[in-house]
Amino acid sequence: MSKAQRDYQRRRQAAGLCVTCGGGPRVTVTRCHACNEAHLARNKARTERLLAAGLCCKCGKRPRGHFRTCRKCRTRAADLKRRRRRRATAYVVMEPVGGGIVPAAATLDPRLAQDASAGIPGSWVATVRYLARRIRASKRKKV
């Protein structure tokens, strides 16, 4: 796609129009219902065609072994998933209070949370997932 095409699509998107046909209203971030259905059908047909030929369903190269995607596409997908998880995990400065742990500050950027935890005695940085595991573990029956 050329720079002119990308600029044209960005202008359409900024105007609230479908980037494919210029119509509206959009049902996704970029496409109207008809264009979105056509796009999904094309992608599904391409994926089925590539898989039937034994090729990677992302790039079209031949994967090794029993995988649906080649090594490069699997690595790229894993990196993307890792980055999304990292962004979705909020970091909170916690401090011990009366036998429990409570937030000492609002949710912070991970770099700021690490700096803030160093300045607050007796506190530590914990992810929200870690806290959820701790809460679930404390609610389990102890036998």
Distance CA 143, CA 75 (A): 43
65-114 confidence digits (pLDDT tens): 888 999 999 999 999 988 877 776 555 555 555 555 555 544 444 444 44
| pLDDT band of 47, cuts 50, 70, 90 | very high
DSSP state of 94: E
- State the pLDDT at residue 113: 46
Cβ neighbours of residue 22 under 8 Å, at least 6 residues apart?
Answer: 12
- State the pLDDT at residue 101: 55
Cβ neighbours of residue 78 under 8 Å, at least 6 residues apart?
Answer: none
- CB of 31 closer than 8 Å to CB of 23: no
Distance CA 72, CA 63 (A): 9
- State the pLDDT at residue 122: 40
**Alpha-helical regions (H) of 1-143:** 3-14, 33-52, 71-88, 110-119, 128-139
| pLDDT band of 48, cuts 50, 70, 90 | very high
For residue 140, pLDDT over 70 is answered with no
Instruction: Report domain extents, the chain.
Output: 3-51, 54-86, 89-139
Higher per-residue confidence, 128 vs 14 = 14
Per the document, the length of the chain is 143
